[in-house]
Amino acid sequence: MPPDFMGIGVPKAGSTWSYELLKSHPRIWVPPQRREVRFLNQIPERSLSWYEQFFPSEGESYGAIGEVTPYYLYCSERQIEFLRQQIPSARRFIVILRNPIERVYSSYWFKRRVANIDETFQEYLDQQEGVLEQSTYVPYVRRWLNHFNRENFLFLILEKDVAEPEQARRKIADFLNVDESQFPETAGKKKENKR
């Protein structure tokens, strides 16, 4: 069964938090074997049959089926149109945004940790092409709005929604049309990747 929703953005803005929150609801399916599938970013190298392996079989019953790959926000027009035509069930998109400066700084510390870089923050900005542009959200959101209506999107703000998990659960439940009361009471209260 193909997805009907996607968490599409942005990196370093709570995608792990949103994945764990979604996963905690018994009527929401997100792939347990892979947090970020990154299918749209790998077209044409990956096939639809490769993508379908991450989702439940026909006959299984869920209120919402989806995945969270924050890099999807940066997809090209061609990739978004591929999604619109080849996966017509995917019509709901969750976008988590973060203070742009905080997002870039978090990205810097992530790279220092995983890529073992030792450059200064300024050197990182000078050497990493596109890192600042990734925090300029409007052009990327507009690109998606060229293909889907505004009501197909739920926009969350990391700083606000992580601080108010009950409100975040309500927004997500309403958007995905699932019962909010089925979220565990602790869902969304734990900060993920808080370093």
Model pLDDT for residues 73-129, shown as the tens digit of each residue: 999 999 999 999 999 999 999 999 999 999 999 989 988 888 888 899 999 888 888
Three-state DSSP string of the chain: CCCCEEEEECCCCCHHHHHHHHHCCCCEECCCCCCCCCCHHHCCCCCHHHHHCCCCCCCCCCCEEEEECHHHHHCCHHHHHHHHHHCCCCCEEEEEECCHHHHHHHHHHHHHHHCCCCCCHHHHHHHCCCCCHHHCHHHHHHHHHCCCCHHHEEEEEHHHHCCCHHHHHHHHHHHHCCCHHHCCCCCCCCCCCCC
Q: Is residue 122 part of a domain?
A: no
Q: Is residue 19 part of a domain?
A: yes
What is the pLDDT confidence band of residue 192, given thresholds at 50, 70 and 90?
A: low
Task: Count how many residues are written for the chain.
Answer: 195
Mean pLDDT, to the nearest integer, of 122-145? Answer: 91
What is the pLDDT confidence band of residue 59, given thresholds at 50, 70 and 90?
A: low
In the predicted structure, residue 38 carries a pLDDT above the cut 60: yes
Q: Is residue 80 part of a domain?
A: yes
Q: Is residue 171 part of a domain?
A: yes
This prediction's pTM: 0.91
Q: Is residue 120 part of a domain?
A: no
In the predicted structure, residue 51 carries a pLDDT above the cut 70: yes
The parent domain of residue 86 ranges over 5-99+135-182
Tell me what percent of the residues of the chain surpass a pLDDT of 70: 97
Mean pLDDT, to the nearest integer, of 144-169? Answer: 96
What is the pLDDT confidence band of residue 193, given thresholds at 50, 70 and 90?
A: low
Q: Is residue 191 part of a domain?
A: no
Q: Is residue 36 part of a domain?
A: yes
Write down the mean pLDDT value for the chain: 92
Q: Is residue 106 part of a domain?
A: no
What CATH number is given to the structural domain containing 173?
3.40.50.300
**What is the number of structural domains in the chain?**
1
In the predicted structure, residue 195 carries a pLDDT above the cut 90: no
